[in-house]
Chains A and B, each alone.
Chain A
Amino acid sequence: MIEVKGLKKSFEVENPKKLSEQEKKDPRLKGRYFHSVESVSFTCDKGTVLGLLGPNGAGKTTTLRMLSTALKPEQGSLVIDGEDVLKKPVEARKRIGFLSGSTGLYGRLTGRENIAYFGQLHGMDKNAIKQRIDELAELLDLHTFLDRRSENFSTGMKQKTAIARAVVHNPAVVILDEPTTGLDIMAAQTVLDFIRHLKTLSTPVVFSTHHLDEVAELCDKVCVIHQGNSVFEDDLAAFSALGEGVLSHSFLKTIKQEA
């Protein structure tokens, strides 16, 4: 279970002159600081898949990075599975599995070594890692390429390996940042199948996306972020009802409320 309340994060703007026209018009730019995320709240219960929607630059990635402990929020609270992420980030990391669409692998290591390395970083012992990799290989169908160097993998192979790496430690929650962006249809399908699998294990999943069909297919809950604020949070039926069944209309409507 994930509970996010009033997250806030700003970045210092190094060179205000370099900003584009559009960035200068953004109300989140205040003096030398850009308030990328002003106030984002949502909750995601056990067995729930939450879709995080929002235009480019809305603050989705920043939010998810805070959720994954890569960035530290200035304000707000973050509780994952009863553990306060801000107070015990190292403990919280053991419960989080994180995957982003742009994630890479160590090309000179084999698929197995890539996964095992993160297993070791998570403090797992050799047998546990081996067992878990076998399990994941079965689930994700990795056997054919698991022991080859990952630099020659296809996008699909890479994505499968990255998924296995992200969940090698049996995380309590899984966070995915645009996991299907830039992937071909087959590779994207692997990701979606995996999310479905997590759902059967009743692991809470938060994922951001631009594809509304993925939302319709998988999500129980939707959260829309616009200009650093969460402007909508409810279940899929309520979201769908907003646009009278057309999700893209719903999406535009939630944004226009604020704009």
Chain B
Amino acid sequence: MWVVFRKEIKELLRDRKTLFFMIALPILFFPLIIGGVAYFSSKAIDEAQSKVLKFSVVGAQYAPALVQELTNSEFFEAIDMKADTDAAEWVRGENVDFVLEVPSNYSDDLLQEGQATFKVYFNDAGLNMVKRRLNEIIGTYEEQSQQNAFATLGLTELQQSALLDPFVLETVNVADDRENWGEKIGGLVPYLIFILCLQGAMLPASDLGAGEKERGTLETLLISPIERNKLVFGKFFTIAMAGVTSAMITVVSMAAWGLVLSQGMAIEMVATFMAAIGAIDFVLMFLMLVPVVAIFASLLLSLSIYARSFKEAQGYMTPLVFLVIVPVVLAMLPGVELKGGWAWVPLTNVALAIKELIKGTMDYIALIPIFASTAFIAAVSLAFSVYWFGREKVLFR
């Protein structure tokens, strides 16, 4: 068996294409994509923040001081608009970023005039800063008017704050930081690891099964005096190891790049978060992945040996990705917890358990159904692979 394993690994390591997909891609490419997205989105936000907004005012005469301040602000640029222009049309024609309509009842004296409604015409479909910037300036006037009114009424500061916000809802989160973050990212981790394991195992799997058929080496291999199950195990371990290695490389590279990119305080947060997850939890996560990878590897091997060519094998394997995504997405749904029946659903239970382990709220009893169901399926699929390798119909298609 190890003869087969060693030879397959040797061959795999000499294959530049597979190595590229397994190692170079996760190390360089994924961080580049993620970094690129982060870079462009932060750039877009920066742009929106520093952009000078053009505006026109209707009814400027009701609030000259406010309009004057808008005009003077470095973030705004006033554009003259003819009195009879339709404000919505004006904005839609991209003449200005927004039109501000000052109400006729605007005044400093709230007690006399009551609430005043400003109307802002703008395109809210995209990313923009219109509301925020207007609130900044109008807010100071608002506060001023409130202070004036309170002064007129002669209210104490206590009464003022009570009137402004009579009842305050204060929340106390009993979840600690770990549980909080675990819930947020814990669902994503198994998703990522599962898909990466599968992807990493796919290329070697197609090479080890369909590849042998395509190159015409399979027949010679089959008639060598090695028992069929040993041959399957040798190939199976190679594929499983490729899957795990690829997933580990990706995770480690992401962690490393994450640390590099998020300098300063973020490091501390990540470090404390990681430290909170004990070594045993990491070992458990890894142990649970073993039967999962075994399932993947044996399924991929069965598909691959059935296929007539490399291309056909890839075609059969693509739907498997969707098949894996479904149970993992189930684990991310709210309400699906590692209890009762869900603990027995393969893949979903492992995904849930990884999440629980990250959160630090794992119920260790649940490990029994998890290992039982996953190992059972792994054993069945591996047995199927062995049986499949003995079928003449599969081997000589």
Residues of A whose CB lies within 8 Å of any CB of B are 11-12, 65, 68-72, 90-91, 93-94, 96, 98-100, 102-109, 113, 117-118, 120-123, 149, 165-166
- Report chain B residues within 8 Å CB of A118: 220, 224
- Report chain B residues within 8 Å CB of A103: 216-217, 219-220
Q: Is the CB of A123 within 8 A of B225?
A: yes
Q: Is the CB of A105 within 8 A of B225?
A: no
A102-B216, A109-B11 given; A70·B223 CB < 8 A: yes
Task: With both chains docked as a complex, state the minimum distance between the C-beta of B9 and any C-beta of chain A, in angstroms.
Answer: 11
Task: With both chains docked as a complex, state the minimum distance between the C-beta of B268 and any C-beta of chain A, in angstroms.
Answer: 46
How many A-B pairs with Cβ below 8 Å? 72
14 contacts between A and B (CB under 8 A): A70-B219, A71-B392, A91-B225, A93-B223, A98-B219, A99-B220, A102-B216, A103-B217, A109-B11, A109-B14, A113-B7, A118-B220, A120-B7, A122-B225
Q: Is the CB of A68 within 8 A of B215?
A: no
Complex: A117 Cα to B10 Cα, angstroms: 11
Task: With both chains docked as a complex, state the minimum distance between the C-beta of B167 and any C-beta of chain A, in angstroms.
Answer: 73
Task: With both chains docked as a complex, state the minimum distance between the C-beta of B127 and any C-beta of chain A, in angstroms.
Answer: 51
Q: Is the CB of A93 within 8 A of B396?
A: no
- Report chain A residues within 8 Å CB of B222: 70
- Report chain A residues within 8 Å CB of B395: 70
Task: With both chains docked as a complex, state the minimum distance between the C-beta of B232 and any C-beta of chain A, in angstroms.
Answer: 14
- Report chain A residues within 8 Å CB of B10: 109, 113
A71-B396, A94-B225, A121-B225 given; A107·B7 CB < 8 A: no
Residue-wise interface mask of B (222-243) relative to A, using a CB-CB cutoff of 8 A (1 in contact, 0 not)? 1111110000000000000000
Task: With both chains docked as a complex, state the minimum distance between the C-beta of A35 and any C-beta of chain B, in angstroms.
Answer: 15
Chain A residue with the shortest CB-CB distance to B395? A70
Chain B residue with the shortest CB-CB distance to A118? B224
A118-B224, A121-B224 given; A108·B11 CB < 8 A: yes
Task: With both chains docked as a complex, state the minimum distance between the C-beta of A15 and any C-beta of chain B, in angstroms.
Answer: 13
Q: Which of B339-397 contact A (CB under 8 A)?
A: 392-393, 395-396
A12-B393, A71-B396, A102-B216 given; A96·B223 CB < 8 A: yes
- Report chain A residues within 8 Å CB of B3: 117, 120-121
Does B15 have its Cβ within 8 Å of any Cβ on chain A? yes
- Report chain A residues within 8 Å CB of B392: 71-72
Q: Which of B7-30 contact A (CB under 8 A)?
A: 7, 10-11, 14-15
Chain B residue with the shortest CB-CB distance to A116? B7
- Among the listed A72, A94, A98, A149, which residue makes an inter-chain contact with B220, where contact means beta carbons less than 8 Å apart? A98
- Report chain A residues within 8 Å CB of B227: 90
- Report chain B residues within 8 Å CB of A120: 3, 7
Taking A109-B11, A166-B220 as given, write out 20 further A-B residue pairs in contact, using a Cβ cutoff of 8 Å, ordered by the A residue number. A65-B396, A69-B223, A70-B223, A70-B395, A70-B396, A72-B392, A90-B225, A93-B224, A98-B219, A102-B216, A103-B220, A104-B216, A104-B217, A106-B11, A108-B11, A109-B14, A117-B7, A121-B4, A122-B224, A123-B225
A70-B396, A109-B10, A118-B220 given; A104·B225 CB < 8 A: no
- Report chain A residues within 8 Å CB of B226: 90, 121
Complex: A103 Cα to B225 Cα, angstroms: 18
- Report chain B residues within 8 Å CB of A12: 393
Complex: A116 Cα to B73 Cα, angstroms: 81
Complex: A58 Cα to B273 Cα, angstroms: 70
Complex: A99 Cα to B14 Cα, angstroms: 26
Complex: A165 Cα to B220 Cα, angstroms: 9
A12-B393, A72-B392, A117-B3 given; A106·B224 CB < 8 A: no
Which 3 pairs, one residue from A and one from B, show the smallest C-beta to C-beta distance?
A104-B216, A104-B215, A93-B225
Complex: A107 Cα to B395 Cα, angstroms: 21
Task: With both chains docked as a complex, state the minimum distance between the C-beta of A85 and any C-beta of chain B, in angstroms.
Answer: 11
Q: Is the CB of A105 within 8 A of B217?
A: yes
Residue-wise interface mask of B (33-59) relative to A, using a CB-CB cutoff of 8 A (1 in contact, 0 not)? 000000000000000000000000000
Task: With both chains docked as a complex, state the minimum distance between the C-beta of B293 and any C-beta of chain A, in angstroms.
Answer: 24
- Report chain A residues within 8 Å CB of B219: 65, 68, 70, 98, 100, 103
Complex: A200 Cα to B396 Cα, angstroms: 34
- Report chain A residues within 8 Å CB of B4: 121
- Report chain A residues within 8 Å CB of B396: 65, 70-71
- Report chain B residues within 8 Å CB of A71: 392, 396
Complex: A199 Cα to B273 Cα, angstroms: 74
Q: Which of B156-187 contact A (CB under 8 A)?
A: none
- Report chain A residues within 8 Å CB of B14: 108-109, 149
